[in-house]
Amino acid sequence: MILTTHVFGQQWINLSGQVNDEWKKPIEMVKILVQNGNQLTISDKYGEFSISVLVKDSLALVFSSVSYETITFQIFSQNGDVQQVNVVMKEKINALEGVEVKGAQLQHTTAENVNIEQLKVLPSASGNGIESLLKSFSGVSSNNELSSQYSVRGGSYDENSVYVNGIEIYRPFLIRSGEQEGLSFINPDMVDEVSFSAGGFDARYGDKLSSVLDITYKKPTALEGNVAMSFAGASAYVGTAKNKWTQMHGVRYKNMAYLLGTLQTKAEYNPSFVDLQSYMSYQYRPNLSFSFLGNVSQNKYNFIPQSRETTFGTLQNLQHFTIYFEGQEKDVFRTLFGAFSANYIPNKKLTTTFTASAFTTDEQESYDIRGEYWLNKVSATGSSSELSDDVMGVGTYYEHARNEMNVSVFTASHQGAYELNRSHTALWGLDVAHEQVIDAVNEWETRDSAGFSLPYNPTSIPLFESLTSGHEFYSNRVRSYAQHSYKNYTNNGLFVITSGVRMNYWDWNNEYTLSPRFTFSYFPEWEQRVNFRLATGVYYQSPSFKEIKDTITIDQNLTHFLNKNIKSQQSVQFIAGTDYYFNWWYRPFKFTTEVYYKTMSNLISYTIDNVKVSYSGKNDAKAYAAGLDMKLFGEFVPGVDSWLSLSLMNTKEDIVNDGFGYIARPMDQLYNISIFFQDFVPRFPQYRVHLLFNWSQGFPLNSARGQRFFSKARMPDY
């Protein structure tokens, strides 16, 4: 801390200075209190502060923060004197045999910071560490451990925004199952900061209804690297820094053949997923820097099914279902991404960033699979059971697909930040995006059951279902936001108010949307272990190409019609939350609670099969979601972080004019319990054990082509 004093007359003295940590980085939101007095203030994002006090022979300033050790400075002053003090604040660290856990940051928005150290050591079936960890957060759920997709507070997989260095990342388009998905964009080895918001996020974040995952890649300060290998793949990473240059390069390979071989469907699995990423930066001048983020990935999935068996029913009525397969599936997903950014800081108060990015993906899905199935009764005798000769049903089906999609998105954007003073900060942004999609769908299925082709026709052999369509789609989007943050420290505590508005335009349907958002946080002086926050706003999700495809029937064949009258989905959200910091077993803990209510209109209804989301292609639903999220975070084992999450939720939707009223949404779950627990071997803390446990109510169940409102059933808890 650098401290200077300036005398005002003979009565008051103005103290101003800067608070830094041990690495000379400024510390924000440090409380500065005059000991035995009422004067107090808080440091800004540059660590700077200013406070006026009565002139005395001596006075003491107390500097405190949740994440740092409290320090008291004794100031000896005389009229007209100027005194300078250089001090740093040390982080609170609980050390145990080489394992360090640092203090938590104060949370003044709905975004929660994620400890990236957990990501580097957390094993996961999907190989996507960040997304696997998110699934243990309150309000987050998933039905597939092999996939990186997740649902937040009852929303679909497509309602979650992901940003890397401020640039939006896109999820695959033709993915049907977690086995196909491969690696997500985010490389855990290259991550520096992670924050996640399950709703009520600021205006600077994009146009999705449910959540925001914000990733910042690091800039190495010296030579560093990492190599990891397992039966499911390998990864390598290297980072260097020299003079004005920094660069990181990471490569990942995943092959889940051994794991997929344990699935219920016996088959030859040959998946191959490869990903290469680079992040480079150059400090041209002290106030001007350039950076480049690039990604190349290829996911191949080859699948030759052989057989599948399952037994179901009650003990008195057991039935056995067997399928024998012929054919195969071959899928290829190739993605290229590049973003060039220039960061210019004209002065200490103003920061500007200009970015040009390009994203393209080429996806191909091909399969020809025939299945022959038998349904038998199971005869139970004593403690054993065997198949009976009573065949209840025999049938055959044949599935064919040749689907291709090419998507390209080109974006130019600008973001800016201006600190008016220590209490007021303004943010703004503007981006223009051009999208082009070439889509070709060719799918059909035949069924033969009990000697009859379905649907039955005495004069012909029709297909059970046929879907053929082809489109070339071009559109432009303009998105902008303006946001203001106000911080005020009074005798009653710290108040943080963030307000903003987001405005979008899409030329496909000539639609304008205006999205106001507001967040209020309060850190009371009377209880520094507690903080409160409120968030509300109007959120719009502009339709993607998948969502505008309306399925219609022409000459008994299905095809896709692009709905130009479609509108953005809307959600009005209300969120109230609190954090409580306390010590338990002489170790730090934090208990977080959030209650929320969301009302939604102009929804595009959808169904989910595995991880494939199929949309109706029209604004035909309204819905609501209400729930309670709770999370206990702390050191259940000294020196390592663990947590327990509990979510309670009710979300229903009403398909307009169907006459059935409100029914459960596809991702409705009454309860979801998650546990992430860590332990280590005494005297060898580098050897750790992780337990990731999820228990959720099953999702609503319906037949693949049936109407959802006819089914009240659910999948079993899992």
CATH of the domain at 18: 2.60.40.1120
Tell me the DSSP string of 624-660.
EEEEEEEEEEEEEETTEEEEEEEEEEEEEEEETTSSS
Helix (H/G/I), strand (E/B), else coil: 552: strand
Vertex 702: Cα angle to 378 and 375 (nearest 5): 20
**Alpha carbons 26 and 47: distance in angstroms, whole number:** 4
Q: What is the CATH number of the domain that holds 317?
A: 2.40.170.20
Shared-domain flag, residues 46 and 152 = no
> Does the pLDDT of residue 171 top 90, yes or no?
no
Q: What is the pLDDT of residue 9?
A: 47
Is 103 in contact with 190 (CB distance < 8 Å)? no
> Does the pLDDT of residue 319 top 80, yes or no?
yes
670, part of any domain: yes
> Does the pLDDT of residue 79 top 80, yes or no?
no
> Can you say whether residue 239 is alpha, beta or left, with left for phi > 0 and alpha for psi between -120 and 50 degrees?
beta
30, part of any domain: yes
Q: What is the pLDDT of residue 82?
A: 46
Shared-domain flag, residues 74 and 115 = no
List, for residues 335-379, the tens digit of each pLDDT value: 999 999 999 999 989 999 999 999 999 999 999 999 988 888 877
Mean pLDDT of 263-288: 90
List, for residues 442-456, the tens digit of each pLDDT value: 999 988 876 666 666
Is 130 in contact with 113 (CB distance < 8 Å)? no
Shared-domain flag, residues 267 and 399 = yes
Mean pLDDT of 471-488: 95
Mean pLDDT of 160-172: 90
**Alpha carbons 309 and 182: distance in angstroms, whole number:** 26
The residue to which tokens 């999205």 are assigned? 515
Shared-domain flag, residues 28 and 149 = no
Residues 6+ apart with CB under 8 A from 539: 207, 208, 209, 515, 517, 570, 571, 572, 573
Mean pLDDT of 113-138: 74
350, part of any domain: yes
Q: What is the pLDDT of residue 658?
A: 82
List, for residues 548-558, the tens digit of each pLDDT value: 999 888 877 88
Q: What is the pLDDT of residue 328?
A: 94
List, for residues 495-510, the tens digit of each pLDDT value: 999 999 999 999 999 9
Is 310 in contact with 321 (CB distance < 8 Å)? yes
718, part of any domain: no
Q: What is the pLDDT of residue 673?
A: 94
109 vs 559 pLDDT, higher one: 559
List, for residues 11-64, the tens digit of each pLDDT value: 566 777 888 887 777 888 888 887 776 677 778 777 888 777 776 656 788 888
Query: pTM for the whole thing?
Result: 0.83
Q: What is the pLDDT of residue 708?
A: 60
List, for residues 629-647, the tens digit of each pLDDT value: 999 998 888 888 889 999 9
Q: What is the pLDDT of residue 45?
A: 74
List, for residues 94-116, the tens digit of each pLDDT value: 433 333 334 445 566 778 887 77
Shared-domain flag, residues 426 and 456 = yes
> Does the pLDDT of residue 545 top 60, yes or no?
yes
Shared-domain flag, residues 115 and 50 = no
Residue 147's domain spans which residues? 111-710
Mean pLDDT of 1-9: 45
Shared-domain flag, residues 11 and 156 = no
With cut-offs at 50, 70 and 90, classify the pLDDT of residue 468.
very high
Shared-domain flag, residues 47 and 127 = no
346 vs 382 pLDDT, higher one: 346
Q: What is the pLDDT of residue 103?
A: 41
Shared-domain flag, residues 67 and 199 = no
> Among 247-256, 390-399, 524-533, 662-671, which is the least confidently predicted range?
390-399
The DSSP bridge partners found for residue 325 are 371
Vertex 411: Cα angle to 410 and 412 (nearest 5): 135
Q: What is the pLDDT of residue 60?
A: 80
User: How far is CA 253 from its chain centroid?
Assistant: 22
What is the percent of the chain where pLDDT is above 70?
87
> Does the pLDDT of residue 247 top 80, yes or no?
yes
Shared-domain flag, residues 309 and 415 = yes
> Does the pLDDT of residue 611 top 70, yes or no?
yes
List, for residues 385-435, the tens digit of each pLDDT value: 666 667 777 888 899 999 999 999 999 999 999 998 888 999 999 999 999
641, part of any domain: yes
> Among 157-161, 460-464, 666-670, which is the least confidently predicted range?
460-464
Both structure tokens of 685: 């803390």
> Does the pLDDT of residue 278 top 80, yes or no?
yes
621, part of any domain: yes
Mean pLDDT of 259-266: 81
Rounded to a whole number of angstroms, the CA Rg of the chain reads 29
List, for residues 648-694, the tens digit of each pLDDT value: 999 999 998 888 889 999 999 999 999 988 888 888 877 888 888 88
* Three-state secondary structure readout of 591-615: EEEEEEEEEEEEEEEEEEECCEEEE
Total tally of structural domains belonging to the chain? 2
With cut-offs at 50, 70 and 90, classify the pLDDT of residue 261.
confident
**Alpha carbons 220 and 247: distance in angstroms, whole number:** 7
519, part of any domain: yes
Nearest to 418 by CA among 355, 344, 479, 339: 344
> Does the pLDDT of residue 91 top 70, yes or no?
yes
Return the DSSP state at 714: B
465, part of any domain: yes
Vertex 499: Cα angle to 427 and 415 (nearest 5): 15
> Which amino acid would we find at residue 681?
V
Shared-domain flag, residues 58 and 124 = no
Residue-averaged pLDDT of the chain: 85
Shared-domain flag, residues 185 and 40 = no
List, for residues 34-43, the tens digit of each pLDDT value: 777 667 777 8
